[in-house]
A and B are shown apart, each in its own frame.
Chain A
């Protein structure tokens, strides 16, 4: 592992090369390249030389919390899908199957960390206390965001694939600078807890140039960023094999930082690996790539038809690796949760669904004037001119079709 696996170079023995090799040994050697798994599909806890230690930190309450979160977000997902079917949402992006990858990683983050999601990270949003009703606004077509990222350090969803990855690295570079400034000033008692950034993207998005450039920057500046790739096996209809010939986690080596492949349906392992990675980043050791090996059980979106491109037997195989089932088995076997707990989780889910349904029905079309107002921060003559035209034009319809055409 490490230096011995690096190809020999004709510069052997030069100072630069020594440095690179030492660096490579320090970062590439840890942790193992095979897939990390702790809680297997049979509900039994295995061991791992590096990560078992992290799993041991989890008490029964934490584990029950993971289960409750995963169940809540699955219920939310079902409700949103139903709302889309009823025409209440323009589109829905389901996450069923990916609960462990999202809850495990999200719960490993700390409040001071900043998260850049793509568009399927509803579970991570839950762990960051984003109001899930606000999250639906984008899919209802009443907002292009919905929540204030500053409240939760959970950034807005991004629909242009991979576009958020360089933002994450830049944000991490900012954290790095702030820390240096704070250290230089050494103001007593002002030491903020160290922070890191985590950015989510899919196996498909990993092909975009932005991901490559982000990784180069992250590596060049040793930025405190964790790249969290959810490999759910499909980019709409295109299998991961079209994006990569090797496990995606291996790519990290080429950039000079650790890459870890983790069983993405194992909430305990995901949590452990993410905790390790965020800690690694916060301590100034630079970026980490985590590949959560998971599966999108349902359609890509409610507009998609997976029967056109994949066998249902594949779905069935992955359902056997279900993240909720295996934690349930474990909790029951260890006597950490009883029937009453699971009944409570189900009841909480129904309550969440009712809240989501109600708030969606109540979430009305905005006024287009808000879009005029938010295009620029400062006054802009063209916007003012067009708004004035719009007001005059709308006034011409006053009294007609009362209630029709928002904003008129």
Chain B
């Protein structure tokens, strides 16, 4: 066990990937000598060279498109998108090409491309640096989407993403890049399936489902609720596509109440999908409707008011109050 930040854990995960798979390579803007704007790829170009850690031209469609070509040729590209808001010039390649290649070829072609995207708000930044576009990708069949919330997952999930034969988008919670935790780098392989959820806090009265940046927020809310005598179970989803509905269903059957929270706008978001599924699967176990907590239906607001926008402990507690009101 070693203690490190999420950023360092991804760096170590990428290092292990590059060492273990001669056909893996990293590509993206500023990922070479600079080590990426968040320094996630720090030092890797020195170790593996410019052929394995490729500083690309500034062109997201080009990055994703060539990654697809490399993957078709048997390589394992890991593309970095600099910020959430800048993935869209590459959106066409991701949604119309990457996601559909396997299906269009009747299963003959595989495109194991990994795309890393720092996402989410709370860093006081300017426009396009704080968005949570995961639902736009989750709505596209053919993609897998994961999001680690702690260093251990960050270290292993990036390696599992590369090993996966499907295209995987890894949404990295940028405001947690500096969050420290223990990582087991010793074991031969990951203990867990990256597409399964984790119960990160056991409870009996209500379930809160979150992922990525909101996991610590939900845990803090659960602690605050505990002071009022409420026992809250917290689930870290880890995978946004597919979603581990079994884990949520099992929890709801125990607690009877469900709150789903994410930073992305509530409308049309992942929370709605979870609410609908759980209503179908566990209708008779639910004591209250599933409550969603999320961003408002507005472009991500300016930094000075993001606190009003982002789900925080109070917003999750308020949602819990609403479930108890039924």
Contact = CB atoms under 8 A, between A and B. Distances in A.
Interface of A: 90-91, 138-144, 159-163, 204-205, 207-210, 235-238, 242-243, 303-305, 308-309, 364-368, 371-372, 374-375, 380, 382-383, 386, 390, 393, 396-397, 405-408
A367 B309 CA distance: 11
B104 interface: no
A309 B305 contact: no
B70 interface: no
Contact of B298 (A204, A236, A365, A383): A383
B126 A309 contact: no
Interface stretch (B51-59, B190-198, B254-262): B51-59
Nearest to A367: B305
A161 B29 CA distance: 13
Given A236-B34, A237-B34, A308-B34, A142 B58 contact: no
A160 B89 contact: yes
B296 A386 contact: yes
B126 A91 contact: yes
A371 B267 contact: no
B128 A160 contact: yes
For A139, A207, A235, A243, which residue has the most chain B Cβ atoms within 10 angstroms?
Answer: A207
Interface residues of B, number: 42
Contacts of B314: 397
A240 to B, nearest CB: 10
B297 A237 contact: no
Interface string B105-147: 0000000000000000000111111000000000000000000
Given A160-B88, A242-B56, A309-B33, A382 B297 contact: yes
A238 B124 contact: no
Contact of A393 (B33, B299, B307, B318): B318
B203 interface: no
B272 interface: no
Contacts of A236: 29-30, 34, 37
Contacts of A207: 57-59, 62
Contacts of A374: 298
20 contacts: A90-B125, A141-B124, A141-B125, A141-B126, A159-B85, A163-B89, A207-B58, A209-B61, A235-B30, A236-B37, A238-B29, A238-B32, A242-B56, A242-B57, A371-B301, A372-B298, A380-B297, A386-B266, A386-B297, A406-B307
A88 to B, nearest CB: 12
Nearest to B314: A397
Nearest to B297: A382
Contact of A406 (B29, B298, B304): B304
- By Cβ-Cβ distance, the 6 closest A-B pairs, closest first, are A141-B303, A365-B304, A237-B34, A207-B57, A204-B58, A368-B308
A204 B59 CA distance: 9
For A141, A303, A364, A406, which residue has the most chain B Cβ atoms within 10 angstroms?
Answer: A141
Nearest to B85: A160
Interface string B33-57: 1110100000000000000000111
A165 to B, nearest CB: 12
B33 A161 contact: no
Interface in B288-326: 296-299, 301-305, 307-309, 314-315, 318
B86 interface: yes
Interface in B49-85: 55-62, 85
For B125, B299, B304, B315, which residue has the most chain A Cβ atoms within 10 angstroms?
Answer: B304
Given A159-B85, A160-B128, A305-B34, 14 more contacts: A138-B127, A139-B126, A144-B299, A160-B88, A207-B57, A207-B62, A208-B58, A303-B37, A365-B305, A371-B309, A374-B298, A380-B297, A390-B296, A393-B318
Interface in B139-166: none
A200 B316 CA distance: 44
B302 A144 contact: yes
A407 B305 contact: yes
A157 to B, nearest CB: 9
Contacts of B298: 371-372, 374-375, 383
A277 to B, nearest CB: 24
Contacts of B297: 375, 380, 382-383, 386
Contacts of B60: 208
Contact of A235 (B58, B303, B308): B58
Nearest to B33: A309
A182 B61 CA distance: 40
B305 A368 contact: yes
A366 B304 contact: yes
A139 B305 CA distance: 14
Contacts of A144: 126-127, 299, 302
Nearest to B58: A204
B119 to A, nearest CB: 15
A142 B55 contact: no
A138 B301 CA distance: 11
A390 B301 CA distance: 15
Nearest to B36: A237
Contacts of A138: 126-127
Contact of B302 (A142, A205, A303): A142
